[in-house]
């Protein structure tokens, strides 16, 4: 990761190298943090954050689920993010807001620890690779099950919960695959280590529903809407493991990975072994939406105001 100039921490813009926390920060020990992964694209209408308010809403919901009151209004985080992007001089970037229990108390009762908020931005290419997006990737069903609803909160994007994804990711990497697919606590297909999953059979698209312990993905929601707008039938229901192997096409999606086709799962070739027709059509439509090329989805874009870039350039001149 290449450093950017600034990070936003608790209301201040600080140089990247000064954005530090104490080693006794509660979240470092117990995983008491929640975060988001968001992207800004260089779109037809200028740099713009994709579904910004949906990401901020999910961040606040995740925080509430873990009893962390956020010491900033939603709008303060939104405007700080837009200003940070401009001051870092990015036209496109990945955005990582993090809310965590900070330094002050130890032990498992966290409610007396302060709540810290920071936002970082950096340039980050497609998480599963541009080649993966074009040609598809190889995935493996993990021996690790996705966290269950009776022990954690799958709908929350919480830091500690990601140890589950980390185990699955390492296992798949060591076995020579590019991504892991996790089953839910019942044994049905749940999602990738950082992506939601879709299975295509006979022209119909199936994806696990909310009760399958998925993270309620914002890319998933957008892609479901795009597919329905394209006249494609999308069914949310339990998906059995073998349906992955029997599928004509399989793809995953997430903010980091965008839409990435799967060409092999557990050494079974999916369809022809190349991204299928439906997948490619939906991927193209989704990329168009992300980049503001489709009028009807422009409402999903939160533009970075040009004045913020001008102000950042002017203050650079003064400095």
Ligand X SMILES: Cc1ncc(COP(=O)(O)O)c(C=O)c1O
Where on the chain is the footprint of ligand X (CB under 6 A)?
Answer: 37, 165, 191, 194-196, 215, 217-220, 254-255
**Residue 155 phi, psi dihedral angles, 5° rounding:** -75, -15
Q: Under a CB-based contact definition with an 8 Å cutoff, are residues 103 and 21 in contact?
A: yes
Residue with Cβ nearer ligand X (86 or 196): 196
Residue with Cβ nearer ligand X (55 or 138): 55
**Residue 205 burial (C-beta neighbours within 10 Å; 0-12, 13-18, 19+):** buried
Place of tokens 């993966």: 132
Residue with Cβ nearer ligand X (6 or 38): 38
Question: Rounded to the nearest whole angstrom, what is the least distance from the CB of residue 24 to ligand X in the complex?
Answer: 27
CA distance 214 to 143: 17
**Residue 236 burial (C-beta neighbours within 10 Å; 0-12, 13-18, 19+):** middle
CA distance 181 to 100: 28
Question: Rounded to the nearest whole angstrom, what is the least distance from the CB of residue 9 to ligand X in the complex?
Answer: 22
Question: Rounded to the nearest whole angstrom, what is the least distance from the CB of residue 315 to ligand X in the complex?
Answer: 33
Place of tokens 């470092």: 28
What per-residue string of b and e applies to 267-277 under the rule 16 or more CB within 10 Å gives b?
eeebbeebbbe
Question: Rounded to the nearest whole angstrom, what is the least distance from the CB of residue 118 to ligand X in the complex?
Answer: 18
Q: Under a CB-based contact definition with an 8 Å cutoff, are residues 197 and 209 in contact?
A: no
Element (H, E) at 251: strand 249-254
Place of tokens 């939160």: 302
Question: Rounded to the nearest whole angstrom, what is the least distance from the CB of residue 312 to ligand X in the complex?
Answer: 27
Choose the catalytic residue: 157, 169, 174, 274: 157
- Can 169 be counted among the known catalytic residues? no
Residue 243 is encoded by which pair of tokens? Answer: 């349906």
Residue with Cβ nearer ligand X (81 or 255): 255
Active site residues: 157
């Amino acid at each position: 990761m290449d450093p950017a100039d600034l990070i936003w921490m608790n209301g201040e813009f600080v140089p990247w190298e000064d954005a530090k926390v104490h080693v006794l920060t509660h979240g470092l020990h117990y995983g008491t943090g929640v975060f988001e992964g968001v992207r800004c694209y260089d779109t037809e209408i200028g740099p713009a954050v994709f579904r910004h308010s949906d990401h901020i809403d999910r961040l606040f919901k995740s925080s509430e689920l873990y009893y962390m009151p956020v010491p900033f209004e939603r709008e303060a985080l939104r405007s700080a993010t837009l200003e940070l992007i401009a001051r870092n001089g990015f036209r496109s970037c990945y955005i990582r807001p993090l809310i965590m229990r900070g330094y002050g108390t130890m032990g498992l009762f966290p409610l007396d620890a302060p709540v810290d908020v920071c936002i970082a931005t950096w340039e980050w290419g497609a998480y599963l690779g541009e080649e993966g997006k074009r040609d598809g990737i190889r995935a493996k069903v993990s021996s690790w099950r996705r966290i269950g609803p009776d022990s954690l909160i799958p709908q929350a994007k919480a830091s500690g919960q990601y140890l589950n994804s980390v185990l699955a990711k390492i296992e798949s990497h060591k076995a020579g695959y590019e991504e892991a697919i996790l089953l839910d606590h019942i044994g049905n297909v749940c999602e990738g280590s950082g992506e939601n999953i879709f299975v295509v059979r006979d022209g119909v698209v199936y994806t696990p529903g909310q009760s399958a312990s998925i993270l309620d993905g914002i890319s998933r929601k957008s892609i479901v809407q795009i597919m329905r707008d394209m006249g494609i039938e999308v069914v949310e229901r339990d998906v059995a493991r073998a349906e992955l192997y029997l599928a004509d096409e399989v793809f995953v999606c997430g903010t980091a990975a965008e839409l990435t086709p799967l060409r092999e799962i557990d050494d079974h070739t999916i369809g022809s072994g190349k991204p299928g027709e439906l997948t490619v059509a939906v991927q193209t439509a989704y990329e168009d939406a992300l980049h503001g090329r489709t009028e009807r989805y422009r409402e999903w874009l939160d533009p970075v105001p040009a004045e913020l870039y001008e102000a950042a350039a002017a203050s650079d001149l003064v400095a």
